[in-house]
Amino acid sequence: MNLPDLARFIDFTLLRPGCTQSDIRALCLKAVERGYAAVCVPPYFVSQACAYTNGSGVRVATVVGFPHGMHLTETKITEARLALRMGASELDMVVNLAAYFSGDEKYVRSEIEHLVDLSHKDGALLKVIIETALLSPPQIQELCQWSAAAGVDFVKTSTGFAEKGAVLETVQLMRASLPSSVGIKASGGIRTAEAAWAFIQAGATRIGTSTPL
């Protein structure tokens, strides 16, 4: 796969603690130059990223409930509203695994539904990060099914802050667990074009990476 083909799958990402405005500017300019699908930046930098990518077709994504997802739903809603107000067109929301592992299905599903509704009313996409490294295969399947039922746009493998990121077999399992209308974002440890293409073949429709591919 050559660069123009791969570029449309890439969410070029910088969520490292301590990143600066000059780092975000460089990220955005590289994304515009390469024609990537989106940049994914910390909430603090959404307005700047929107300015740097204005008119380019590169979408601006940011994170909600990052990186552990244990925020209250009300906190995530506030984060999402602020990000959308600043111009974000994609939200990557970390699912509340504390609630999930506590057996609170109603809370988890309601939170996803609230974020889907808020995002879609603003014309934005919602990706739900389920942090697959912490889940068993049946749990991955269940969270994929809940997310699809809520109407999410993507289910995302990882924050990049767990012990491991995307795994090919996990993406294949996710693809088998999701309708074709729901995309998969593979992220965490994808640093080469060859690896990105392998994940796309496995079923990913977006690739989150901090490496310019």
Catalytic residues, by residue number, are: 92, 156, 185
| Residue among 208, 145, 195, 153 at smallest CA distance from 173 | 145
Please classify residue 17 by burial: count the beta carbons closer than 10 Å to its beta carbon, then call 0-12 exposed, 13-18 middle and 19+ buried: exposed
Question: Would you call the peptide bond into 67 cis, given omega within 30 degrees of 0 as the criterion?
Answer: yes
Element (H, E) at 13: strand 10-13
Largest CA distance in the chain: 46
